[in-house]
Amino acid sequence: PALSRPAVGIDLGTTKSCVGLFRDGRVEILSNRQGLRSTPSCVAFTESGRLLGEEAKSQAALNSPNTVFGAKRLLGRVSGAAAAPQDPHRWPFLVLQAEGDARVQVSYKGAEKSFFPEEIVAMILGHLKEVAEEHLGQAVTHAVVTVPAHFNDSQRQATRDAGVIAGINVLRILNETTAAALAYSLHHPDNGERNVLIFDMGGGALSASVFSIDKGVVEVKATAGDSHLGGDDFDNCLVSFLMEEFLKKHRENISHDGRAVWRLRTACEAAKRALSSCQKATVSVDCLYRGIDLQADITRAQFEHLCAKLFQRVLRPVERVLRDAKLSQSQIDDVVVVGASTRMPRIRELLQDFFGGRPLNQCLNADEAVASGAAVQAAILLEDRSDVARNLLALDVASVSLGVEASTGKMHGLVKRNAAIPTVATRTFTTLHDHQPDLLIRTYEGERSIAKENHLLGRFLLKGFSPAPRGMSLLEVTFYIDADGILSVFALDKIMGSANPVIVDARKGRLSKEQILRLAEEHEKYRAEDRAQKWKLATKNYLQSCAFSVKRTSEDILNYFTLQAKKKMVEKCQQAFSWL
């Protein structure tokens, strides 16, 4: 049956994404056109148009400079911090720095074009939206979108902007571990109060969160993570090793050949997956470079040795989150693993050893748990009448401390990391000069005592208050962090009160409303072009099918036609084939 306001849960992953729908008291993971329940977070640009998901990934080896993946790692990052230092060198597409922002440059329809990361992510979200619409047979405009628990304000705002560009009303930006905890609560409704650690490791990031779960109330105690530790990094490690081996053996450097690197990456990813269940895997690529084949056997022990530095980082967020939650390993009742990368045996061994050999809880589908929890949250926010949705509640926390720069240059704290959200902090500011016309407040995220050593969240310029001698203006500034973990700032002139509203000019280094509106219009234009291209292809296939059918029919009933009629039918078929 049609839903009055269908809302989906979207697990927006670095390498793969998934979409779920909650209805009739249960979660359904929706399959894409290829019948798969997860979709590559991949966009390709060609001479004729865009390709998304599986179609984009399948042609990547032949079109690597114009196939964009891992765009989630670029979200909300300003110039100089667009990604980890090694990322741009590993990507076959070009990442530019323009006006303080990272942009992806590709060749699209014969012309060079640059895209904001938000645009690329919007294309992925739009594709998942279409998957849901095809399944439901009606428009889908509401969604809960998940992000890593340690995403900062800029990254969360960029994710929300991407949703707006894609034509989605983002009901909530939900932490991936919180979504997994909701899915866990769905499977364990009556277990009493429990301390649960959710360990989520996907393709691009690692998140760990501790929850107190009691009678459907999911309360986050602490959260931590590593934004550049995921399955992709293990793939990169294996790719680098085999490229070096190829160079030593054949004196050929393939790093500048995008097609060869992509084919090697695909083979390495397959080998990594195989090593999760086997002790040995073979990386085999025919004619990798200049007619030279690559074939190498990799054992699990060898793989773990190559990636030793990455494995050493796995437990750091776990140690930190337990320290922040003020809990010991023995006080954790359940350790739940989600995310495809947790299938690596070494990851599970490290976690089990850390928790004293205790078995890990693998009750959740590693690939679908986050999308399931997001779908449940969407149902809760839309006030679904089912008992399941009504009996669940998620209480989240701020992933990073928030503060302002004091006149001494130190960080003056406003909201501490792991404080419950939504939350409000109010401070009173004054001017340093006589008749000062405005006041600039710099807001930072981070844990360092010196403000400039933290991440600059934004500059808030207060204007319109009453000019007065130094120290006489009193401005009450309210910092509000909403349930999405996104900051808003409001100000009031305490001398004049509401009679003199203070204008807050927020400069957070993100897309302006005008830019978002323009990009949303462009997104719709791209979608219209895609529909036209699909219609053209479908019509062409139909004509080809008709021509073959007529040709086959004319051969089967040849004796029933006159010579002239047979000749005319054959000519028409040949004309169709020639045109095609």
* Residue range 177-202, pLDDT digits in tens: 999 999 998 888 766 789 999 999 99
pLDDT at 562 over 50: yes
Tell me the whole-structure pTM to 2 decimals: 0.87
Task: Report which of 196, 167, 164 is spatially closest to residue 373, judged by C-alpha positions.
Answer: 196
Q: Catalytic: 482?
A: no
User: Residue ranges of the domains in the chain?
Assistant: 7-229+313-396, 231-311, 402-511, 515-579
Topology classification of domain 231-311: Actin; Chain A, domain 4 (3.90.640)
Q: Catalytic: 513?
A: no
DSSP state of 63: S
C-alpha of 450 from chain center: 31
Domains 231-311 and 402-511 share a fold: no
Exactly one of 11, 161, 269, 368 is catalytic; which is it?
11
C-alpha to C-alpha distances, 156 to 405, 463, 488, nearest whole angstrom: 22, 27, 13
Q: Catalytic: 109?
A: no
C-alpha of 340 from chain center: 14
DSSP state of 407: T
For residue 4, what pLDDT is reported?
A: 63
Exactly one of 118, 119, 161, 176 is catalytic; which is it?
176
In 292-418 the beta strands, taken as DSSP E runs, fall at 292-299, 334-338, 393-397, 402-405, 411-415
Exactly one of 16, 57, 72, 129 is catalytic; which is it?
72
| CB of 533 closer than 8 Å to CB of 55 | no
The length of the chain, given as a count of residues? 580
In 227-333 the beta strands, taken as DSSP E runs, fall at 280-289, 292-299
For residue 85, what pLDDT is reported?
A: 44
Exactly one of 200, 232, 334, 445 is catalytic; which is it?
200
CATH 2.60.34.10 fits 402-511, yes or no: yes
Stretch 381-391: mean pLDDT: 76
Q: Which residues pair with 503 in a beta bridge?
A: 463
For residue 82, what pLDDT is reported?
A: 42
pLDDT at 334 over 80: yes
For residue 248, what pLDDT is reported?
A: 94
Confidence of residue 516 (pLDDT cuts 50, 70, 90): confident
pLDDT at 83 over 50: no
Topology classification of domain 7-229+313-396: Nucleotidyltransferase; domain 5 (3.30.420)
Q: Catalytic: 494?
A: no
Tokens 């056997």 locate to: 297
Q: Cis check for the bond before 422: say yes or no (omega within 30 of 0).
A: yes
- What does the pLDDT look like over 229-240, one tens digit per residue? 999 999 999 999
Weakest mean pLDDT among 85-89, 268-272, 285-289: 85-89
